[in-house]
Amino acid sequence: MKEALDGFAIQLMEAKKLGRDIHLAGHFNRVVVCGMGGSGVPGDLLKAYASDMDVDVVKNYFIPRSVDKRTLMFLVSYSGNTEETLSCFRQGLRVGCQMVGISSGGKLQELCRQYRVPHVDVPKGYQPRIAYPLQLFPILNVLENLGLVSSAPDIDEAVDLVKNADFTGHARQLAALLVGKLPIIYSSERMFGVANRWRIAFLENCKIFAAVGVFPEIDHNELLAYANPRLPFHVMILHDEDDYRRIKDRMKLTKKLISRTAHVTEIRLSGKGRLAKIVSSIFLGDLISFYLAESMGVDPTDISLVEDFKKQLGSGYLSL
Ligand code: F6R
């Protein structure tokens, strides 16, 4: 994990080249991204980045009924063997929508070859959650080739920011505040993908529960849990200076009200463009979870419970 974090800028540079050679013909009016766990993150992040685009994220066996020939569907699986994603692939074939596979090999790569579906070969050797730029940037490159986004300068900004900024001190400080606490991460709804990726980092790297919530929804229910909290926790609010002004008002007032019973840290997303904010803040979250895991004596790379689960469940996707 340490090597993956130290080499994160290098991964970004590698990621920005992927998918550039995929030029699709056709007009697409919506995008669907299928993927589970770490490989579900790129879909959430595409929604955060291209919030004006019609993007659906599928983290399940079944694609929406409304998928048709004008839908562009990305199938993302780091291993290429995740059965929910393979099930979506088979349904996409039946519908006849344009698909693009993204994996480091596995069954997904084989199926893409067999059915002549464009496929992005992602380098092997990463843990899926750390590898999300290797899955997200090719999606952006394919969309850029279609004229649907203009992400090349944003990718460059994200790479430069991670290469030049030093998040270590900030990450260590925050990790120290989280020892023995339940991390609660809030963001605007648009940045849900980022807040949720922070949660995944705490779940998988530290093996601790973490909670996520988004504005404005939390002000309509979760706020009440602060009346009399019974658990040790620490709240982190992710601020994007481009959040809608009423969301910013809500963040400010929520912080004021919950500070009576809660420890709250505000984190301002660094960078100018939205992609740089997304990538740099996830990097900060990864560092925090890494230092927290270290202080807890937990191996951040151990995901054996998930792997054992997959083995015990067996491979039944072919019968779907
Ligand atoms: C994250 C992780 C899991 C996998 C998920 C899907 O680091 O290991 O969340 O991402 O089980 O597997 P893949 O990514 O191989 O499709």
Q: What is the pLDDT of residue 317?
A: 62
Tokens representing residue 119 in the block = 């496929």
Q: In this predicted model, what pLDDT tens digit does every residue of 256-268 receive, in sequence order?
A: 999 999 999 999 9
Q: Is 79 in the pocket of ligand 1 (CB under 6 A)?
A: yes
Average confidence (pLDDT) over 185-205:
97
Q: What is the pLDDT of residue 213?
A: 98
Q: Is 39 in the pocket of ligand 1 (CB under 6 A)?
A: yes
Q: In this predicted model, what pLDDT tens digit does every residue of 141-155 receive, in sequence order?
A: 999 999 999 999 999
Ligand 1 centroid – CA 80 distance (Å): 10
Ligand 1 centroid – CA 224 distance (Å): 34
pTM (predicted TM-score): 0.95
Atom of ligand 1 nearest to the CA of 303: 8
Q: Is 104 in the pocket of ligand 1 (CB under 6 A)?
A: no
Reply yes or no on whether the pLDDT at 318 is more than 60.
no
Q: What is the pLDDT of residue 320?
A: 45
